[in-house]
Amino acid sequence: MEPTAEERFRTLYAATYADVLAFARRRVGDHDGHDIAAEVYAVAWRRLRDIPADDPRPWLFGVARNILRGDARGRRRRRNSSPDNGRVAGFGHS
């Protein structure tokens, strides 16, 4: 009998979470690393059939990189769209 999607996901998570968390932490620190890892596994659950069975780590790391890029773009966009363009009041150019 073939494992259920939930069983496959649990196995995937148990086998790869430490590596995905370490990958994310090296790039964004401890607290944000946990958030990135959580997002990776949310994507993994939705796309479970797309994940290679032989070695899922490269696929998961690619998802993490895409999430990190999206977060970086969002931060830049928010900083560039703020009224003071990211400068602290009283400082910067007039």
Query: Hey, where are the domains in the chain?
Result: 5-81
* Confidence grade of residue 70 (pLDDT, cut at 50, 70, 90): confident
Q: CB burial class (10 A; 0-12, 13-18, 19+) of residue 36?
A: buried
Q: What confidence tens digit (pLDDT) does each residue in 8-58 have? A: 999 999 999 999 999 999 999 998 999 999 999 999 999 999 999 999 999
Report the alpha-carbon distance of residue 58 to residue 91 in Å, rounded: 44
Q: What Cα–Cα distance (Å) separates residue 94 from each residue in 5, 87, 89?
A: 58, 11, 11
Note the CATH number of domain 5-81: 1.10.1740
